[in-house]
Amino acid sequence: MEENKNFEITPDLFERLDDSDKNAEKIAYESKTYFQDAWSRFKQNKLALAGLCFLAIMVVCCIVIPMVSPYSYDAQNMAVASQNPTLAHPMGTDRFGRDILVRVMCGGRISLSVGVIAALIALVVGVIYGGISGYVGGKVDMVMMRIVDCMYSIPDTLYVILIVVVFEPSMFSILLGISISSWMGMSRQVRAQVLTLKEQEFSLAAFVLGASPKRILFKHLIINSMGPIIVQFTMLVPAAIFSEATLGYLGIGLSVPQASWGTLANDAKGLVATRPLECMWPILAICLTMLALNFIGDGLGDALDPKKK
Amino acid sequence: MPKPILEIKDLKVYFGGGGFIKKAPLVKAVDGLNLTVYENETFGLVGESGCGKSTTGRAIVKINKITDGHIYYNGVDIDTIKGDQLKQFKQDVQMIFQDPYASLNPRMTVGEIIREPMDIHNIGTKEEREARVRELLEIVGLKPDHIRRYPHEFSGGQRQRIGIARTLALNPKFIVCDEPISALDVSIQAQVINLLEELQKEMGISYLFIAHDLSMVKHISDRIGVMYLGNLVEVGDAELLYRQPMHPYTQALLSSVPIPDPKTARERQRIVLEGELPSPINPPSGCVFRTRCPKVMDRCASEKPAMRKVGDRQVACHLFDE
Amino acid sequence: MAMLEVNHLSTEFKTENGAVKAVRDVSFKVEKGEVLGIVGESGSGKSQTMFSIMGLLSGNGEVTEGDIKIDGKDISPKNYSPKDYESLMSSIRGNDMAMIFQDPMTFLNPVLKIGTQLIEPILNHNDVSKQEAEARAIELMRKVGIPSPETRLNQYPFEFSGGMRQRIIIAIALACNPKIIIADEPTTALDVTIQAQVLDLIAHLKDEIDSGIIMITHDLGVVASICDRINIMYGGKVVESGTADEIFYDPKHPYTIGLLSCISNPEEKEKKELHPIPGSPPDLLNIENYCPFADRCEKAMKICKMRMPEEKQYSNTHTCSCWLSHPLAQGKGE
């Protein structure tokens, strides 16, 4: 109350305040979009941030290292076969003298792009399928969801193996197989979101204004499901990477000399006892990437869920 | 003679009844409702939760499907309306929602929200739309520089005004106001009510004003209809209905309204209704109010009272049978 | 002695954007058999005042100042270690202090029978046998107007309607003979006819029990009918306090006057025009220390945006904090 003593109350302080000096419609918060807001919350999560950094470094390395390295992924050089890590070959060489670092990074290109592309396909299919099912509702929804249930009842790996075997192992067949086996979860998630959101007053308001179903579905319902969709997407990517690795390990993945992390691990599996390092590199790459992706997914889940605010 | 803008004839809206193996119970939300709203008029529809007042409002804007009966807008049945007429109907008839937090898309800026109706109906050029958005913001008392902000940055009353600006974008003729003030603070309610009244004066809009708060409804409405369990029990001039309620339910409802005046509140005799609202799945036979009515008679159970004219009023009660 | 005494209570919430001063220097008393109404809009701090008293503030909230006494016993958080305070409050809540919330289902356990939930507190607070407790439970249910309590005792909460659940909550509140009953918007979720029933019940009970009752609401109609005294809160502060008659017939603060002129009283013959208060309620985030109502006040003066006004006593019961009561402001109130 120290201030009050020095404060002199004079008559001129009692003049009527002008309206322009009032600030009755003041908004205290600074303007932030949803994603800015989510990003500021995501940043608080140190683990997720670390995951994001690791993933970024991994992606950059996968792109850059094979480009600048003097070795190519399939160039054999028997002179340096089966070497332990050296300065020239930081991860050593395999039994054909190929540089393991380059091979792991090339493998990463394939594994990561398979993961992202398959997850993207699953995302698009799942969002459209689930969106339509939830929005139309009634009998259409019933039938569409029973189809999903049927597809769910067959094990994922079975699809992938069947499709890859039928279409011959290639990038295309692997992508097709993984996407077909992984869009159902996304469609269920989107349907559940759309079902609750379509009863919300803002989508009813759009309906009353005369908006077309397409507009309501995409501009109002799916935009507002973006949070769960993105989280689901970050979970789909590692799952797809895993599926591809499993295929590679089973020996029905991409054919040599092309390599993914799965096929690299498969190649080296006979050497676990004698040269464990060679087997460890691709496995380490898979594990760390999985971990990073899961941290990111977790962090995004928290950041995009407005209820936790 | 004022011209009717909206006529509801024997409207029935039922929910449920679907299901594959076992039929879900049928909820009779609105069960035989007749009502006329005239041009430039505010019709207040009051009743407790579950009486079907919101369902009626939603049926008018085609959110809820009509089970039976007809709704005529300017003489055209809205259930069979198509093409250009439907497009015109969607522009003319608008709705203001109850919850200002849920009725604005959280991912759109205020400008996008208010512009959306014009985008949908392809009205004007981009610049014209932008100018109209600013004009509308001004009409509802917000600043044009609020245009890029998101709804969550505004208070409840401000959001409700954004919602009103959106409905005004298409120059509507008829607005269903579904409890537009019940989620707002007292000092803000009057802002919204005054805004609605001004708009009516300037643009000649008709309102169907749905609410459970009788004092505000009486203030804004020209005529009031009282609903109970899917039925309209009394319709009349707002002032008259408040002074001399005829239907026993209207009497009880009015005596329950909290009065912001300690002396009147202390002296007033309340008619406290016994029991609870019956389920609309299995409404009572005859008069739906008979299970709670203090003046119940034998014939109330057997015969459903018809709406009849008593003076300037319409009442559905056997007490007023000739 | 007052049942509850609160002096200079202040509460803050820490957020990433700064401190939210939800309650600022609030003082009041509740006597035995008295109903105190606390009226305010959302964000006025009325609920946070009560949560501060009950020790139920959410994680980032903290009572920064003030004394709270219940029936003479000190329960101010600053005088105890956090652990002691927690155990003290858990023995006081549901014992000396009973609560009635807006949504009864947050308070009732959905998987326990009503009887169990009602008998438990009776057994905890009185030295009685199970049979006696059951008899008392039935008596309480009758008192709050629940028909055929013997059979209702064996039912689950979902079998009760909203109004009936609120009656059960009131019965549970009464079971432990509390010193103070805090009701936070007890009738807001109910329909008008049911609200009237519950308000009648509370008005009827207040003469029979020895508790003080605090009624938190935004509805001036509700306080007019049952409250003896009323505190009007705005921007985390009590701006005016007085008996119901003083507040309704002789309001001093421009906010109270504004509130009364923007509600419509249906009893009035002529349709009066509503005079809304312009603008929106203040955001309590980083709020500055001047009259919180100044930005919306029609009669605001320069000083209103510089200093917090002091409280002026108009009668034993009537106080108001507004610069218009200052001698130099004479004639500015018109």
For the stretch B80-128, pLDDT in tens is 998 899 999 999 999 999 888 889 998 899 999 999 999 999 998 999 9
Contact criterion met (CB < 8 Å) for A15 and C302:
yes
Contacts of C245 in chain B (CB under 8 A): 262-263
Contact criterion met (CB < 8 Å) for A208 and B121:
no
For the stretch C57-69, pLDDT in tens is 888 888 999 999 9
User: Which residue of B lies nearest to C249 if distances are taken between CA atoms?
Assistant: B261
- Residues C28/C31/C33/C34 CA torsion (nearest 10 deg): -30
| Chain B interface, best mutation among A209, A216, A219, by max B CB count within 10 A | A209
| Chain B interface, best mutation among C165, C225, C297, by max B CB count within 10 A | C225
Mean pLDDT (chain C, rounded):
87
Contact criterion met (CB < 8 Å) for B219 and C259:
no
- Distances, alpha carbon C88 to alpha carbons C54, C67, C75, C77, in Å: 11, 15, 8, 10
d(CA A300, CA A292) in angstroms, rounded, equals 12
Task: Provide the pLDDT for residue A86.
Answer: 81
Mean pLDDT (chain A, rounded):
84
For the stretch B130-177, pLDDT in tens is 999 999 998 888 888 888 888 888 888 889 999 999 999 999 999 999
pLDDT band at C278 (very low <50, low <70, confident <90, very high): confident
Contact criterion met (CB < 8 Å) for B48 and C275:
no
User: Which residue of A lies nearest to C329 if distances are taken between CA atoms?
Assistant: A14
Give the closest-approach CA distance of C151 to chain A in angstroms: 38
Which two three-digit tokens encode residue C256?
């109270």
Give the closest-approach CA distance of B179 to chain C in angstroms: 14
Using DSSP's 3-state secondary structure scheme, residue C172 falls into helix
Domains of chain B: 4-320 (3.40.50.300)
Task: Provide the pLDDT for residue C204.
Answer: 84
User: Which residue of A lies nearest to B84 if distances are taken between CA atoms?
Assistant: A210
Q: Give the range among A253-257, B186-190, C316-320 with minimum mean pLDDT.
A: A253-257
Task: Provide the pLDDT for residue A24.
Answer: 61
Q: What mean pLDDT is predicted for residues C287-308?
A: 87
Burial class (CB in 10 A: 0-12, 13-18, 19+), C90: exposed
Contact criterion met (CB < 8 Å) for A17 and C286:
no
Residue C255 scores a pLDDT above 90:
yes
d(CA A236, CA A223) in angstroms, rounded, equals 19
CATH number at residue A249: 1.10.3720.10
Give the closest-approach CA distance of B40 to chain C in angstroms: 18
- Whether A85 is covered by a domain: the verdict is no
Task: Provide the pLDDT for residue A309.
Answer: 40
The residue ranking higher by pLDDT, A80 or A57, is: A57
pLDDT band at B245 (very low <50, low <70, confident <90, very high): very high
Identify the sign of the CA torsion C104, C108, C110, C114: negative
Residue C98 scores a pLDDT above 70:
yes
d(CA A114, CA A108) in angstroms, rounded, equals 10
Number of domains, chain A:
1
User: Which residue of B lies nearest to C244 if distances are taken between CA atoms?
Assistant: B262
- Whether A5 is covered by a domain: the verdict is no
- Whether A290 is covered by a domain: the verdict is yes
Using DSSP's 3-state secondary structure scheme, residue B23 falls into coil
In eight-state DSSP terms, residue C285 is B
For the stretch C184-209, pLDDT in tens is 888 887 888 888 888 888 888 888 88
Do residues C93 and C176 make contact, with C-beta atoms less than 8 angstroms apart?
A: no
Bond into A257 cis (ω within 30): yes
- Whether A211 is covered by a domain: the verdict is yes
Nearest to C259 among B49, B186, B214 (CB): B186
Q: Which of A62-76, B30-44, C46-60 has the highest mean pLDDT?
A: B30-44
Which residue segment(s) compose the domain that A184 sits in?
35-65+99-308
Could you report the predicted ipTM of this complex, rounded to two decimals?
Answer: 0.87
- Whether A263 is covered by a domain: the verdict is yes
User: Which residue of B lies nearest to C248 if distances are taken between CA atoms?
Assistant: B261
d(CA A235, CA A119) in angstroms, rounded, equals 9
Contacts of C164 in chain B (CB under 8 A): 276
In eight-state DSSP terms, residue B63 is S
Residue C172 scores a pLDDT above 50:
yes
Contact criterion met (CB < 8 Å) for A220 and B104:
no
Mean pLDDT (chain B, rounded):
89
For the stretch A172-223, pLDDT in tens is 888 898 898 889 999 999 999 999 999 899 999 999 999 999 999 999 999 8
Angle between helix axes C114-125 and C162-175 (nearest 10 degrees) is: 20
Do residues C168 and C86 make contact, with C-beta atoms less than 8 angstroms apart?
A: no
Give the closest-approach CA distance of C11 to chain A in angstroms: 19
| Chain C interface, best mutation among B42, B99, B186, by max C CB count within 10 A | B186
Q: What mean pLDDT is predicted for residues B15-37?
A: 82
- Whether A14 is covered by a domain: the verdict is no
Task: Provide the pLDDT for residue A308.
Answer: 45
- Whether A81 is covered by a domain: the verdict is no
d(CA B220, CA B194) in angstroms, rounded, equals 9
Q: What mean pLDDT is predicted for residues A249-271?
A: 79
| Chain C interface, best mutation among A2, A8, A17, A45, by max C CB count within 10 A | A17
Burial class (CB in 10 A: 0-12, 13-18, 19+), B67: middle
| Cβ partners under 8 Å of residue B77, min gap 6 | B70, B71
**For B282, how many CA atoms within 13 A lie in the half-sphere containing its CB?**
2
Give the closest-approach CA distance of B237 to chain C in angstroms: 14
Contact criterion met (CB < 8 Å) for A206 and B99:
no
Task: Provide the pLDDT for residue A3.
Answer: 45
Residue A61 scores a pLDDT above 80:
yes
Which two three-digit tokens encode residue B12?
């029935």
Q: What mean pLDDT is predicted for residues A68-75?
A: 81
Contact criterion met (CB < 8 Å) for C328 and A21:
no
d(CA C172, CA C100) in angstroms, rounded, equals 9
Contact criterion met (CB < 8 Å) for C278 and A24:
yes
Whether A29 and chain C come into contact, CB under 8 Å, resolves to: yes
pLDDT band at A56 (very low <50, low <70, confident <90, very high): very high
d(CA A122, CA C285) in angstroms, rounded, equals 44
- Whether A79 is covered by a domain: the verdict is no
Subunit partners of chain A (3 or more CB pairs within 8 A): B, C
Q: What share of chain B is helix, strand, coil (3-state, %, to 5)?
A: 35, 25, 40
Contact criterion met (CB < 8 Å) for C265 and B157:
no
Strand partners, B37: B6
Domains of chain C: 4-96+184-191+216-329 (3.40.50.300)
Whether C277 and chain B come into contact, CB under 8 Å, resolves to: yes
Contacts of C193 in chain B (CB under 8 A): 48, 252-253, 256, 272-273
The 3 state secondary structure assigned to chain A is: CHHHHHCCCCHHHHCECCHHHCCCCCCCCCCCCHHHHHHHHHHHCHHHHHHHHHHHHHHHHHHHHHHHCCCCCCCCCHHHCCCCCCCCCCCCECCCCCEHHHHHHHHHHHHHHHHHHHHHHHHHHHHHHHHHHHHHCHHHHHHHHHHHHHHHCCCHHHHHHHHHHHHCCCHHHHHHHHHHHHHHHHHHHHHHHHHHHCCCHHHHHHHHCCCCHHHHHHHHHHHHCHHHHHHHHHHHHHHHHHHHHHHHHHCCCCCCCCCCHHHHHHHHHHHCCCCHHHHHHHHHHHHHHHHHHHHHHHHHHHHHCHHHC
pLDDT band at B61 (very low <50, low <70, confident <90, very high): very high
| Cβ partners under 8 Å of residue C81, min gap 6 | none
